[in-house]
Amino acid sequence: MTQVEKKRSGRRVHVPMRMCIGTRTTHPKRDLVRLVRTEDGHIVVDPTGKRPGSRGAYLCKSRQAAELAIKHKRLEAVFGHPLSKEDEQAILAFFSQFDS
């Protein structure tokens, strides 16, 4: 499903939508953070959204979404690779900045 917004000029602009794997809710792609699996097997945060690697997974900008994705092993399911403790801690540390 796509979402369309109107610009000031009256033209409609396509807004890409993605699903948060933590909360299972759909949001505009710009409102989410991308995670990728690197060539060496680590699952890392991609704040720019342009890092090369495997397919991306998206999370809402909240620690709760990251915790849900880790708890229910959704990152492992998406990437087909176990999540290491170091990667888990790095992901949770990154998403902690959004909850104040």
Distance of CA 78 to the CA centre of its chain: 11
Domain 3-96 has CATH 3.40.50.720: no
Question: pLDDT digits over 12-46, tens only?
Answer: 889 999 999 999 999 999 999 999 998 888 999 99
Q: What single DSSP character describes residue 92?
A: H
Q: Which residues of 12-44 are buried (b: 16+ CB within 10 A; e: fewer)?
A: eeeeeebebbbeeeebeeeebbbbbbeeeeebb
Question: pLDDT digits over 53-86, tens only?
Answer: 767 899 999 999 999 999 999 999 999 989 999 9
Which pLDDT belongs to residue 1?
47
Q: Which residues pair with 20 in a beta bridge?
A: 58
CB 13 within 8 A of CB 5: yes
Which pLDDT belongs to residue 100?
55
